[in-house]
Structure 1
Amino acid sequence: MTDVLIAGAGPTGLTLACDLARRGIAVRVVEQRSAPHRESRAKGLRPGSLEVFEEFGVAEAVAARGSARVVLRKYFDGRHINDTVTDGGVLVGQWQIEEVLRDRLAEYGVRVEYGSAIAGITQDAAGVRVELEGGAVVAAGYLAGCDGGRSTTRRLLGIPFEGTGEEEPAMVLGDVKAPGLSREFWHQWFSSEGTGILLCPMPGTDTFQLQAAPETDERGALLPPSLESFQRLFERHARMPEIRLADPTWLSSWRVNVRMATRIREGRAFLAGDAAHVHPIAGGLGMNTGIQDAAALGRSLAAALTDPAGEEALDAYQAERLAVATELLADTALRYERVLAAVREPGRGTEAGLD
């Protein structure tokens, strides 16, 4: 029988899988996606996450794919104002982090099982039985739901996800090419209206991650993300008609959601990462908090599996990480407000969320 079944192969699930596998714990990872993605998504690793990665020997490989020093070039109403520098972490795309973690996991003899969505959960004092779509059943000692903000694990366990959320997107995002635009800078164009567009060069690629306030039509309705909309937003804010955006490989929208699970343990099943909490993106704390969740859950599960008195460690995981999540939601909400205020000041930008 598998010791731990992990649902979700993002940074949280893969970190947990690597941590458990290095301890000799039998682990399986199922992922409802049919294959790995190559979307930039989350892109900033903090020192604490690198310390976790150091424990199973991937910190250097992750850092090598990213950039430790990022220059933010600030524009206001189309005019270059100043440049600021951020360091202390690593700028690297989420898909690249996941690739490094999958490679390390494969060295432990574990491979992600793609196209495996969970459909049912039952458990008793002896273990958990997870039914997959298609009818297969996996028996495990414990289940870890690391399957994101729309977590199927959380829904099947009947755990409420309380908080607030906006109906309308606050931001559109995408991965695009911008031939002719310098890749030496994370370009941040803002305006006196409080709107703007950001293009961040993703290390190891020829793409930029684009973030912008959504475009509206003549009736004021928000338009969905598209290359054509991105180009109009770019021309409005950057005022560089010679630059033509191209080859979008990811298009998405982001809504403000501040929510957390009322509990992150249900018997032998646990939640971690976005399955347990979602919050504003200011400060780049989402992926990093998920990695820390995974490290804490790995320690707790290892203790429970190797120590007859380890049950206390499982209770400690919930107490510790629920407290962290509560503080995280309040903190990131304040950071987000600071960023919204800062971008109305010439020369200020996303670094306001790092204060």
Structure 2
Amino acid sequence: MSRTDVLIAGSGPTGLTLACALAQRGFAVRVIERRTAPHRESRGKGLRAGSIAIFKELGAAEPLIAAGTAGVVLRKYFDGEHVNDTPTPADAGLLIGQWQTEEALRDRLAALGVHVEYGAELVGITQDEEGVRVELANGGVIAARYLAGCDGGRSTTRKLLGIPFEGNGDKEPAMVIGDVRAPGLGRDVWHQWFTSEGGGMMLCPMPGTDSFQLQASPEQDEHGEPLPPSLESFQRIFDRCARVPGIRLEDPTWLSSWRVNVRMATRVREGRVLLAGDAAHVHPIAGGLGMNTGIEDAAALGRALAAALAGPDADAALDAYEAERLPVAAGVLADTAERYERVMEAVRTPGRGTEVGLD
């Protein structure tokens, strides 16, 4: 049975940030990931100043700053007509695909001698005063002094611990999302189309690629039920909202749906197991705070685990992490819920929209 100081479940931005923070301090760390390979999905596409500062300390910021875009212009259309162009605030941060953020963190982690272990699914957790024993779906067992659950909103770690995930969420999707190409559409602005009938579509050019991240109101079938995301559905929504003839969407490399969920774990520590990122809290996307809050969780947890591993009072260090981050999570949930409502109201007015969520 292999052993390590800290085992991290999940190789998203939260887990990778934590791994870099610990490896940089000289601790033994392993990262397991249920996926069999890295993804290339744009997902969380904005790095705020606090995250960039953390990445600078970890030595991972330079390639992201070089690849990303700052100062994005939001081009607003209403009922197919161009209304105005709105620059994002100067401090809005960096536009960059989540897969690129993860790639930069993996590269930094590899330079520190650690590689993500893919195809490793966590299925069991036991712990005692000496450490944690993790069982994998393939029959493997890993022993660690601590386990960090950074495995997303459907966290297996949280579920195995029986930690309640309290809050509320919508059953139906509020948005369909994906990565698509749109040959012939300008890539110098973030296109945002809304209509007087309700609904809309946004196409954001992702740096370093020839694709756009698409966000749109879902189509409904004849029974009023939302249709699943598909290229055909994306094209129909585009034609209805954008009213730009000759543009054909193609090459969908990511198709998904997004539901409004406002939930947080009642605690982020269970003995030697801790939660961070979406495993601990999920909330509306307005303001782009989700991934960034997880990155800040990871930085705080890195400090706490380093103190616990090196110092005489591990419990105090880990309790301090929970005392610091739970109130932050609660504040972010309230803040983003309010931002989301502002955005939903703003898009009904020509020329206004997502920028109100950045204020």
Greater mean deviation of Cα atoms: 52-61 or 7-16:
52-61
Q: Give SS of 1:328's match.
A: helix
**1:53 counterpart residue number:** 55
Amino acid at match of 1:286: G
**1:79 counterpart residue number:** 81
* Counterpart among 236, 260, 273 of residue 240 in structure 2: 236
Counterpart mapping for 1:1-355 below 5 A: 1-86=3-88, 87-88=90-91, 89-355=93-359
- Could you tell me how far apart the structure 1 residues matched to 2:197 and 2:25 are? 53
Q: CA deviation at 1:63?
A: 1.2
Q: CA deviation at 1:65?
A: 1.4
CA contact (8 A) 1:264 1:271 kept: yes
- Could you tell me how far apart the structure 2 residues matched to 1:155 and 1:219 are? 35
CA contact (8 A) 1:194 1:340 kept: no
- Could you tell me how far apart the structure 2 residues matched to 1:29 and 1:98 are? 13
CA contact (8 A) 1:197 1:237 kept: yes
- Could you tell me how far apart the structure 1 residues matched to 2:106 and 2:138 are? 25
Amino acid at match of 1:2: T
Q: CA deviation at 1:61?
A: 1.4
Q: CA deviation at 1:243?
A: 0.3
CA contact (8 A) 1:7 1:145 kept: yes
Q: Give SS of 1:305's match.
A: helix
Q: CA deviation at 1:15?
A: 0.2
Please give the per-residue CA displacement for 1:133-185, whole angstroms capped at 9, x wherever unaligned. Answer: 11111000000000000000000111011110110000000100000000001
Amino acid at match of 2:263: R
Normalising by structure 1, we get a TM-score of 0.99
CA RMSD of aligned residues (A): 0.7
Please give the per-residue CA displacement for 1:211-270, whole angstroms capped at 9, x wherever unaligned. Answer: 000001222221100000000000000001210000000000000000000100000000
Q: CA deviation at 1:292?
A: 0.2
CA contact (8 A) 1:40 1:175 kept: yes
Normalising by structure 2, we get a TM-score of 0.98
- Could you tell me how far apart the structure 1 residues matched to 2:34 and 2:80 are? 43
Q: Give SS of 1:36's match.
A: coil
Q: Give SS of 2:72's match.
A: strand
Please give the per-residue CA displacement for 1:248-307, whole angstroms capped at 9, x wherever unaligned. Answer: 000000000000001000000000000000000000000000000000000000001111
Q: CA deviation at 1:70?
A: 0.4
- Could you tell me how far apart the structure 2 residues matched to 1:184 and 1:329 are? 32
Instruction: Provide the identity percentage.
Output: 74
Amino acid at match of 1:32: R
Structure 1: 4+ residue segments shifted above 3 A: none
Q: Give SS of 2:278's match.
A: helix
* Unaligned stretches of 5+ residues in structure 2: none
Q: CA deviation at 1:26?
A: 0.3
